[in-house]
Amino acid sequence: MHTILRYRWNLMLAALGALQLWLAATAVDPARILGILGGLLVLVAAALRPSRWSLALVAASALPFAALSWWSLTTPLLALLTLGFTAAALRAARTDRRPA
C-alpha cells in the first residue's frame, strides 16, 4: 500500500498516457501520429524517475496533440491534467528526498 501511495502521481500519469493513446486511435492522420507518439512519451515519463525535464517532456508530448484536436475539449483537458499530474509527481519526489 505504501508503494502505491508513493507512486500515485506516476500511476495516474500513466493512466493519462494510456488515455491519450486511446484517443489517438480515433484521430485522423497527423493528429493520430502525434497522439500516439505523445502518449508513448507520457508513458515513458511516468515510468522514469521524475526530474526537472519531465515537465518539458510531457509538455512536448501532450500539447501538440491537444492543439491539433482542440475542438474536442477532451484533449486540451487531458493535456492540462497531464501537466498537473507531472508537476505533482515532481513535487512529491522532492518531498521524498528531504531528510526527516
The mean pLDDT value for 8-16 works out to 91
pTM: 0.86
The mean pLDDT value for 51-72 works out to 89
Those residues with Cβ within 8 angstroms of residue 31's Cβ, 6 or more apart along the chain or in another chain: 24, 65, 68, 69
Give the pLDDT confidence score for residue 100 in this predicted structure: 52
Give the pLDDT confidence score for residue 97 in this predicted structure: 66
Range scoring the smallest mean pLDDT among 6-10, 15-19, 33-37, 94-98: 94-98
